[in-house]
Amino acid sequence: MDLRNFTIDIDADGLALVTWDMPDRSMNVFTEEVLGEIERFVDAFASDEAVKGVVITSGKAGSFTGGADLKMLSAMFEAFQARKATDREGAVAELFARCGEMGRIWRKLETSGKPYVAAINGTCMGGGFELALACHGRIAAQSAKMGLPEVKVGIFPGAGGTQRVPRLADTQSALQMLLKGETLSAAKAKGMKLIDEVVPDEELVARAKDMLRAGLKPVKAWDEKGFKLPSGPVYSPAGAQVWPAVASLYRKETADNYPGARAIVKCVYEGLLLPIDAALRVEQRYFTEVLQTTEAAMMIRSLFVSMQALNKGARRPAGVPETRIAKIGVVGAGFMGAGIAFVAARAGISVALVDRDQAAADKGKAHSAGLLEALVKKGRAKADEGEATLALIHATPDYAALADADLVIEAVFEDREVKAEVTRRVAEVLKPEAIYASNTSTLPITGLAEAFPDPARFIGIHFFSPVDRMMLTEVILGQRTGDRALAVALDFVRAIKKTPIVVNDTRGFFANRCVLRYMTEAYDMLVEGVPPVMIENAAKFAGMPVGPLALNDETAVDLSQRIMRATIRDVGEGAIDPRHLALVNDMVDGEGRLGRKAGKGFYDYPAKPAKKHLWPGLKERFPQQKAEDVDFTELKQRFLVTMALEAARTVEEGVVTDPREADVGSILGFGYAPYTGGTISYIDGMGVKAFVALCERLAEKHGERFAPTPLLREMAERGESFYGRFAPAAAA
Ligand code: NAD
């Protein structure tokens, strides 16, 4: 057989070893060519007497497959859109057929009469795991990870995943895994019965062949008479235990915002009532439907296409050679600096971690020691690996340690004077080509750069807390920041595997401006007498991961107070609503409720295991509206609209220049309702015209802060979208 992406090696026992190893890629992915080749070998083996069984594995170390190739999905979308305009029925029929291709081939393999074993040597996601599930045996290396993450980009596993998983695992764990898009370790997958055996990495192929030699049946249990579902039939006493709880699990995970998740529940429920072939058709039908939803289109664009583009350096200036960053300096080993040192060392970069004295620097390094210890305990890092990482961090009060750094990141107190003094001291020792970055969260970069001799080498790299978990960094260009500084900053962000957005200098940059709107909208609701619990729930039902009051407690209420005071000082009294300031002053100065760090803020934080709960005193401050008088849908809209509107302002002001960055930045930076595709896709998704109408309605009721901006009005009039007007390339 002449295959480009697979090698086939048939041994003396007639056992075929198929190794997937795409010649031109670092990772195996599904393309039309790959699918075609799989079908060819399945057909060939089916009619070849000499072949007794087949092992499928991958030739890429540590990775079986990353899943579907983006281009395949995009091509499918494009074909659908192009045909839909003139021939809707035909377009849907074609989409249906194309959606079913992968599932059809997996089913063919499953019923081909030859036994197949998937030997999973590493990460095996999406369609690849569905291929494995179609095989008759599944064996995984100890280090392998697997899962069906499709729900996270707005779709769901549509090549048999929703049918084979709940025919192997019990219904509840199956649904849990599918709805969360959870990545499973080999051991956990075995616990769920999705994997038959877990073996040491080096024995994988030999043990897979042993499985075949032991007489693995080429027929699936569900293709035999008398097959019993792991949790029993849907309509049975056992089913009656499971299914009522599913509705609440589904609501809890999704707030009913995700068509992909809704389809998972329907597929599993309806599918388990049917024999496998009919069930697979049900799945295919829902998959075709979900692919046509706005949510799927927006999520695939932001969380898949745009995120990959940004990670690959979409905003990196062309023509600046890539820097391999060997060493960085971090000045200020506090909360943020310690986190930055950790993520850099994890990426194998040496770090000079500088603070005012040895003890403060050591404390910063101890943060990494703690995180590494936890990773080792969880089995996510080996002990010697942890030690090696820690050894990369050199904690010292001596600025001379920064002399050979390629990049220095300043994370000292948020104070112009302190920062200027540190900047001057670093500049004295820095090598001439090194780049200087500030992690400031509020101070304009252009002003900070004045303390540095060469502002072209000065840039902002704004991390989010906690640094080890938040995937976004905001890279901020000062007025005189040069291309090389940007390139080096982006090379660094890439090295530590975070996603960058690049924004222009302004008060609050991008993310904090939007987040501030989220919190102040909650202040407004409090003042109006909306019951606090409704405020928090409305935000969560709108798709936010954390309610605005809980978030405010995390970031600290006294920080809000400081930001308000600074804003009044810099911009004037009118910039802050006096009722908001009064509320915050009361919380901080009157009640000492500074937030989570103080054990009390908008919430009370009793000792564990008790859970936090909203502070009862909050209700006494403002006359409360009756719950039935509150328009809950409108509360949800207010949150999403106020943040989207702020994002639109940043685009209008030229702070954000590419809508992809506002979208990806809003989801990764503050968890903006992912099903919308992000702040700008929320607007484009409903259409600028509809958004403007919504803003006008809210403005009339709640005030000028909701008034649509001139740009929005103009775009509504002309029928434009943000992706159409600001990033024609990104929209494609
Ligand atoms: P922090 O108070 O925890 O840490 C500041 C550290 O800087 C302290 O360890 C202090 O000893 C050290 N320091 C002060 N003056 C110094 C000097 N002259 N030389 C060397 N070290 C000095 O503060 P943080 O929360 O880590 O914030 C640091 C910076 O990061 C601030 O600019 C802040 O705005 C920004 N930031 C904070 C967050 C956050 O969530 N906390 C998020 C993004 C950005």
Place of tokens 């919190």: 519
For ligand 1, is residue 490 a contact (CB within 6 Å)? no
Ligand 1 and 402: CB distance under 6 A: no
Question: Residue 107: which pLDDT band, with cuts at 50, 70 and 90?
Answer: very high
Ligand 1 pocket, mutate which of 340, 367, 441 (most atoms under 8 A from CB)? 441
Query: Is 90 exceeded by the pLDDT of residue 77?
Result: no
What pLDDT does 68 receive? 75
**In this predicted structure, which of 53-57, 94-98, 433-437, 474-478 has the lowest mean pLDDT?**
94-98
* Residue 412, ligand 1, Cβ within 6 A: yes
More confident residue, 129 or 92: 129
Q: Is residue 79 part of a domain?
A: yes
Q: How far is the CA of 331 from the centre of ligand 1 (A)?
A: 9
Q: Is the per-residue pLDDT at 90 higher than 50?
A: yes
Query: Chain-wide mean pLDDT for the chain?
Result: 95
Q: Is the CB of 443 under 6 A from ligand 1?
A: no
286 and 337 housed in the same domain: no
* Atom in ligand 1 nearest the alpha carbon of residue 438: 32
pLDDT tens sequence across 352-378 = 999 999 999 999 999 999 999 999 998
User: 């509840």: which residue's tokens?
Assistant: 172
For the ranges 85-89, 530-534, 567-571, the maximum mean pLDDT occurs at: 530-534
CA 302 distance to own-chain centroid:
10
Burial of 625 (0-12, 13-18, 19+ CB in 10 A): middle
The CATH number linked to 574 is 1.10.1040.50
424 lines ligand 1 (CB under 6 A): no
Q: Give whole-number Cα distances, 64 to 118, 121, 641, in Å.
A: 10, 6, 42
Q: Is the CB of 422 under 6 A from ligand 1?
A: yes
The 3-state DSSP class for residue 12 equals coil
Q: How confident is the model at residue 730 (pLDDT cuts 50, 70, 90)?
A: very low
Question: In one letter, which amino acid is 447?
Answer: G
Whole-number CA gyration radius for the chain: 28
Lowest mean pLDDT among 48-62, 235-249, 514-528, 594-608: 235-249
- Quick one: 505 and 530 in the same domain? no
- Known active-site residue 462: yes
Sign of CA dihedral 339, 343, 346, 351: negative
Answer yes or no: is the C-beta of 413 below 6 A from any ligand 1 atom. Answer: yes
pLDDT at residue 233 is higher than 90: yes
Angle at which helix 679-686 crosses helix 659-670, to 10 degrees, equals 120
* Owner of token pair 């500074």: 594
The total domain count for the chain is 3
92-103 residue pLDDT tens: 888 888 889 999
Q: What is the pLDDT of residues 264-291, one digit of tens each?
A: 999 999 999 999 999 999 999 999 999 8
pLDDT at 98 (0 to 100)? 83
Q: Which of 219-228, 302-311, 426-435, 626-635 has the lowest mean pLDDT?
A: 302-311
Does residue 600 share a domain with residue 500? Answer: no
pLDDT tens digit sequence for 169-180: 999 999 999 999
- Inform me whether the pLDDT recorded for 307 exceeds 90: yes
Domain boundary among 610, 630, 650: 630
Write the pLDDT tens digit of every residue in 445-462.
Answer: 999 999 999 999 999 999
Identify whether the C-beta of residue 307 lies closer than 8 Å to the C-beta of residue 154.
no
Average pLDDT score over residue span 295-302: 91
User: What span, in angstroms and rounded, lies between the C-alpha atoms of 570 and 513?
Assistant: 16
- 467 and 549 both lie in a single domain: no
Distance, CA of 679 to CA of 702 (rounded, Å): 20
Which of 408, 412, 563 is the best mutation target for the ligand 1 pocket, counting ligand atoms within 8 Å of the beta carbon and taking the most? Answer: 412
How close is the Cα of 441 to the center of ligand 1, in Å?
10
Domain housing 180? 6-292
HSE-up (13 A, CA, CB side) for residue 718: 11
| Averaged pLDDT for residues 603-610 | 93
Residue whose tokens read 């219904």: 171
For residues 492 and 595, membership in a common domain is answered with no
Residues 605 and 486 both lie in one domain = no
List the alpha helices (DSSP H) in 451-510: 483-495
The values of phi and psi at residue 503, to 5°, are -130, 160
Residue 66 has a pLDDT of 84
Ligand 1 centroid–CA 394 distance in Å is 18
With a 6 Å cutoff on the Cβ, whether 358 touches ligand 1 is no
| Token pair belonging to 564 | 């308000």
Domain end marker among 292, 312, 342: 292
Q: Do residue 502 and residue 529 come from a single domain?
A: no
Q: Which CATH number belongs to the domain containing residue 72 in this structure?
A: 3.90.226.10
Under 8 Å between Cβ of 334 and 359: no
In a domain, 607, yes or no: yes
How far, in Å, is the centroid of ligand 1 from the Cα of 443?
Answer: 13
- Whether the CB-CB separation of 76 and 99 falls below 8 Å is answered with yes
Same domain for 537 and 415, yes or no, is no
Domain limit, last residue, from 510, 545, 562: 510
Pocket test for ligand 1, best of 342, 413, 465 (most atoms within 8 A of CB): 413
Are 393 and 460 in the same domain? yes
Please give the structure tokens belonging to residue 453.
């001799």
CB 726 within 8 A of CB 654: no
Q: How far is the C-alpha of 91 from the C-alpha of 76, rounded, in Å? A: 10
For residue 70, what pLDDT is reported? 65
Ligand 1 centroid to 414 CA: how many Å? 6
Q: Which of 136, 367, 462, 580 is catalytic?
A: 462
User: Is residue 500 located within the same domain as residue 570?
Assistant: no
- Shortest CA distance to 167 belongs to which of 126, 227, 108, 89? 227
Domain match, 476 and 529 both: no
CA of 465 to the centre of ligand 1 (A): 12
**How much of the chain is in helix, strand and coil states, percent to nearest 5?**
55, 15, 30
Q: What is the DSSP string of 411-439?
A: ---S-HHHHHHHHHHHHHHS-TT-EEEE-
Structure tokens at 270: 């309806």
Instruction: Note the pLDDT tens digit of each residue in 650-681.
Output: 999 999 999 999 999 999 999 999 999 999 99
337 lines ligand 1 (CB under 6 A): yes
Per-residue model confidence as pLDDT tens digits over 22-61: 998 999 999 889 999 999 999 999 999 999 999 999 999 9
Could you check whether the bond before residue 317 is cis, i.e. omega within 30 degrees of 0? no
> Is the pLDDT confidence value at 732 over 60?
no
Residues 331 and 288 in one domain: no
How far is 668 from 311, CA to CA, in rounded Å?
13
Q: Judge whether residue 80 has pLDDT over 90.
A: no
